[in-house]
Amino acid sequence: MAMTDYPYASDFLTSMPANPVNVSCEAGWADWTNTTGTDTDQKTLLTNLIKVADVYFNSAKKADYCVNFKDTGATGSLDGDAWNVLQCNQLAMPNSTGDASMFLKYSFDYVANTASCQKQYGMSPDYTWAVREFGGAMINRDFSGYSNIIFSNGNRDPWIAGGVTEFIGLKLPYYIIQGGAHHLDLRLPNIADKGTDVERVRNHEILDMEQFIMEYQDQFK
C-alpha cells in the first residue's frame, strides 16, 4: 500500500482510493491510551486491522469478501510470477526481517530458496549476478563510468532504501520526489500532480533527456 500511495485513486495493484495510507490510518484509528488488554480490546484491535487491510484488499467494500491470509505476496492484478522468475534467475533479492520490524521475523534461506526455484521453474538463482554485472556495492566507484541514466525515487516509496539517493556524477542525475510513491514520475500526469514536487522532477527529467540526445547527435556533426 505504501508503494502505491498515490494522491489519486489507482488500480496498479488493487483498486485503492487516493492517499490509501492516510485512508487506512483513518479506517483503523482507535484510542489505545486506556487499553487494558481485555478481550474487548483485542476484538477492537482485530476489527481495526481488518479495516486497514480492506483499504488494500477490498476498497469496494464487497459484503461477501473474505481476506485470503495465504496471499502473502498480495500482488493483486500484477502478475507476481514475473518477479518470481526474475528472482529465480539473475535478480535475486534476499531479504530478512528482525525483531525491530513491523513484519514477522524472517531469515532468508538461500538453500531453501534455490530448491524452490528449481522445483517451480527449473532455475538456480545467480545471487551475485547483478552486483557483478552492474556494480552497486560502492556506487560512487562502480557507477563512475556510467552516463545518461536518471535515478529517481519517491520519498514515500519503500524501495527508496535500495535506490540511488546521492550525487555520483553530472551524467547521472538523481531526484527525490517529495510526497512521491513508487515510480510516480513515470505514471501519466494527473490533475492531482499540479503544483507538487513530481511536476518539478518531470520537467528536469525532460531537460536531462533532451541534453542526452543533443550530446549524442553532436558526435555526428
pLDDT over 70 (residue 217): yes
Measured distance CA(192)–CA(203) in Å, rounded: 16
Mean pLDDT calculated for residue range 93-101: 87
Q: What is the pLDDT of residue 30?
A: 61
What domains are defined for the chain?
Answer: 1-78 (1.20.120.980), 79-134 (no CATH), 135-218 (no CATH)
pLDDT digit string, tens, across residues 36-77: 666 667 788 888 888 888 899 888 888 888 877 777 777 776
Number of neighbouring beta carbons within 10 Å of residue 24: 23
The C-alpha angle with vertex 196 and arms to 193 and 199, in degrees rounded to 5, equals 70
Task: Give CA torsion, residues 30, 36, 39, 43, to 10 deg.
Answer: 10
- Return the pLDDT at 68: 76
| Confidence at residue 64, expressed as pLDDT on a 0 to 100 scale | 84
Q: Is the pLDDT of residue 5 over 90?
A: yes
Integer-rounded Cα radius of gyration of the chain: 22
Residues 165, 174 contacting (CB under 8 angstroms): yes
Contacts of 10 by beta carbon, 8 Å cutoff, 6+ apart:
4, 16
- pLDDT tens digits for 155-202? 999 999 889 999 998 899 999 999 999 999 999 999 999 999 999 999
**34 pLDDT higher than 60:** no
- The whole-number pLDDT of residue 32 equals 55
What pLDDT band is residue 8 in, cutting at 50, 70 and 90? very high
Residue 88's contacts (CB-CB under 8 Å, 6 or more residues apart) are: 116, 117, 120, 121, 123, 124, 125
* pLDDT, position 28: 72
Q: Is 158 helix (H, G, I), strand (E, B) or coil?
A: helix
Nearest alpha carbon to residue 186 among 151, 221, 139, 141: 151
Q: How confident is the model at residue 48, as a pLDDT?
A: 85
Could you tell me if residue 195 is left (phi over 0), alpha (psi between -120 and 50 degrees) or otherwise beta?
left
* Three-state secondary structure call for residue 106: strand
pLDDT of residue 159: 92
Whole-model pTM: value is 0.84
Q: Please, which residues bridge with residue 16 across strands?
A: 10
pLDDT in tens, 117-150: 999 999 999 999 999 999 888 888 899 889 999 9
pLDDT of residue 31: 60
pLDDT of residue 153: 97
Reply yes or no on whether the pLDDT at 14 is more than 80. yes
Distance of CA 116 to the CA centre of its chain: 24
